[in-house]
Chains A and B, each alone.
Chain A
Amino acid sequence: DQQVKQNSPSLSVQEGRISILNCDYTNSMFDYFLWYKKYPAEGPTFLISISSIKDKNEDGRFTVFLNKSAKHLSLHIVPSQPGDSAVYFCAASEMTPGSTSGSRLTFGEGTQLTVNP
């Protein structure tokens, strides 16, 4: 059962334009959502997150939108740069049982973003 889905395996955009990466989830218990960026043969790097009590969070060129009723979130990158080319993972968290801090993450399959010069 894939609880976090990224339906687009790849996305190609022109430099300077907006990149929109989408993610859907099914588990209504998820309370925190994150985006990670991953280059080949490296560990994922945390990009931006959003709590379930918010609908938007912005950090520089990156904005994450959350639509709880639709169980959908998206990552907007504007303007897109060639260095943004990577695989982007959406992740959702629920509190890890027995822990007072930290969360267990469920990842989507990832979307390969290619930004063309």
Chain B
Amino acid sequence: SQTIHQWPATLVQPVGSPLSLECTVEGTSNPNLYWYRQAAGRGLQLLFYSVGIGQISSEVPQNLSASRPQDRQFILSSKKLLLSDSGFYLCAWSLHEQFFGPGTRLTVL
């Protein structure tokens, strides 16, 4: 069966610090991978998606970047965090339906 992992589960970082969130998928090959952010009281906003290794599409201009160094690994990064980067970050994989990881709660102070 397929499983999706995210870490860390929670993170508190100062403004201006770097960020690296990791997502890995097990039990499937060549999945589409996605990064979403849910701001407080808001819906899910698609940040990036990837259809293969090294292939990244950005949905909205922002302070974040994504990379896919391996087939089942998806990384969300920032060089310098902003206060507005705070939120709940979700990774997902899909064949058709999307299946979500447990999420990372990021608080930027």
Contact = CB atoms under 8 A, between A and B. Distances in A.
A84 to B, nearest CB: 19
A32 B36 CA distance: 19
Contact of B88 (A41, A49, A104, A105): A41
A102 B100 contact: no
A102 B42 contact: no
Contacts of B96: 32, 49, 93, 101-103
Majority secondary structure, B binding face: strand
Interface residues of A, number: 28
B43 A44 contact: no
Contact of A34 (B32, B43, B52, B97): B97
B100 A103 contact: no
A93 B97 CA distance: 9
B43 A96 contact: no
B49 A104 contact: yes
B74 to A, nearest CB: 13
A22 to B, nearest CB: 15
Nearest to B45: A107
Given A98-B51, A102-B51, A41 B46 contact: no
